[in-house]
């Protein structure tokens, strides 16, 4: 068996006034707890270092940039990387990335995968960027991810923690294609971070179902692709906006193995046997034997 003990490193709210240094101290405390519980890796949420700023319409570029990281590690996040190396605990961390590409400044909603030596081994840029582009004053709060982030280009997988690891971010977890593209590359373990407001302004009738939809999507993704999925929230009341918590670890069987029960900083650890994936990948979801990609063309057509 290939066992990986995965910690869900759920965050409670991060307010606008909270410094990165204060947030990193919380992340470090959770990493220490994860280590004491026997974890080899801890999964943190999407945009973990700051408040969820797409809830505001911000016009000033310099003000937007304050939420972004031009380098990783940065001065403020370095303690997390140093602790990772000292404890031998890897991590997945979501953050807003400011990149420079051919002289152009690009903004992405990104996540990195860090191995047990504290080294970055993978980076993912969110593909399914939700929300809207323009200020919509009729909403109680904005969801301007489309304005602030350029979508990424690929779902990649990485060899880490003795297996094949994929990454996704928040809205990606609702799309079957996200998991399938990673599973086609052999993903056994998928890490996902999220910020999901309970209130969805264009579809308020979904508000009561927000925790159900979260769990439904992750369970389906894990089962239909024979992989473990660790999906982790930044939840609770942040700057007056309530977001779901409900972080969970799902087995390739689709069963929830462990979950967080608060809306605050919380660490729970689950034991993932990566060899258990094969029970599904070799039978019901043997892609080579049972898929019919010749019938799926519409999925990739525009
Ligand atoms: N961060 C993120 O992707 N949140 C979305 C909110 C709903 S779309 C406005 C999500 O899918 O959870």
Which residue segments constitute the domains of the chain, with CATH numbers given? Answer: 3-300 (3.60.110.10)
Set 33, 69, 145, 170: catalytic member: 170
pTM of the model: 0.98
**Relative orientation angle of helices 78-87 and 20-36, to the nearest 10 degrees:** 10
Q: So what's the pLDDT on residue 152?
A: 98
Tens of pLDDT, residue by residue over 92-147, are 999 999 999 999 999 999 999 999 999 999 999 999 999 999 999 999 999 999 99
Structure tokens at 105: 């400044």
- CA 256 remoteness from chain centre: 17
Label the pairing between strands 41-43 and 256-259. unpaired
Which residue has the CA at smallest separation from atom 7 of ligand 1? 196
Question: Which of 14, 130, 213 gets mutated to test ligand 1 (max ligand atoms within 8 A of its CB)?
Answer: 130
Q: How far is CA 112 from CA 72, 119, 254, in A?
A: 9, 10, 25
Give the Cα separation of 107 and 49 in Å (integer): 15
C-alpha of residue 130 to centroid of ligand 1, in Å: 6
Q: What does the pLDDT read at residue 14?
A: 98
Residue 183's contacts (CB-CB under 8 Å, 6 or more residues apart) are 166, 225, 226, 227, 281, 285, 287
Atom 1 of ligand 1, residue of closest alpha carbon: 195
All residue ranges of the chain with pLDDT < 50 are none
Q: How confident is the model at residue 1, as a pLDDT? A: 86
């Amino acid at each position: 068996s290939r066992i990986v003990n995965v910690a869900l490193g759920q965050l409670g709210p991060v307010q606008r006034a909270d410094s990165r240094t204060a947030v990193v101290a919380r992340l470090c405390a959770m990493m220490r707890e994860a280590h004491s519980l026997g974890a080899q890796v801890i999964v943190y949420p999407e945009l973990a270092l700051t408040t969820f700023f797409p809830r505001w319409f911000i016009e000033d570029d310099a003000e937007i940039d304050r939420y972004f990281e031009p380098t990783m590690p940065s001065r403020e996040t370095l303690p997390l990387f140093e602790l990772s190396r000292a404890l031998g605990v890897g991590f997945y961390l979501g953050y807003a990335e400011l990149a420079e590409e051919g002289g152009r400044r690009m903004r992405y909603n990104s996540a990195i995968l860090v191995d047990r030596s504290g080294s970055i081994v993978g980076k993912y840029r969110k593909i399914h960027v939700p929300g809207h582009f323009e200020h919509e004053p009729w909403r109680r709060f904005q969801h301007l991810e489309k304005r602030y982030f350029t979508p990424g280009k690929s779902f990649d997988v990485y060899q880490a923690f003795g297996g094949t690891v994929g990454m996704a971010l928040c809205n990606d977890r609702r799309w079957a294609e996200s998991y399938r593209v990673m599973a086609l590359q052999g993903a056994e373990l998928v890490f996902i971070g999220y910020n999901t407001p309970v209130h969805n302004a264009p579809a308020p009738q979904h508000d009561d179902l927000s925790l159900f939809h979260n769990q439904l999507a992750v369970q389906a993704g894990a089962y239909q692709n024979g992989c473990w999925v660790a999906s982790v929230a930044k939840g609770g009341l942040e700057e007056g906006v309530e977001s779901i918590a409900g972080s969970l670890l799902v087995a390739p069987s689709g069963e929830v193995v462990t979950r967080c029960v608060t809306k605050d900083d919380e660490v729970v650890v689950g034991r993932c046997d990566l060899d258990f994936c094969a029970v599904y990948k070799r039978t019901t979801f043997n892609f080579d034997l049972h898929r019919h990609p010749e019938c799926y063309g519409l999925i990739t057509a525009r």
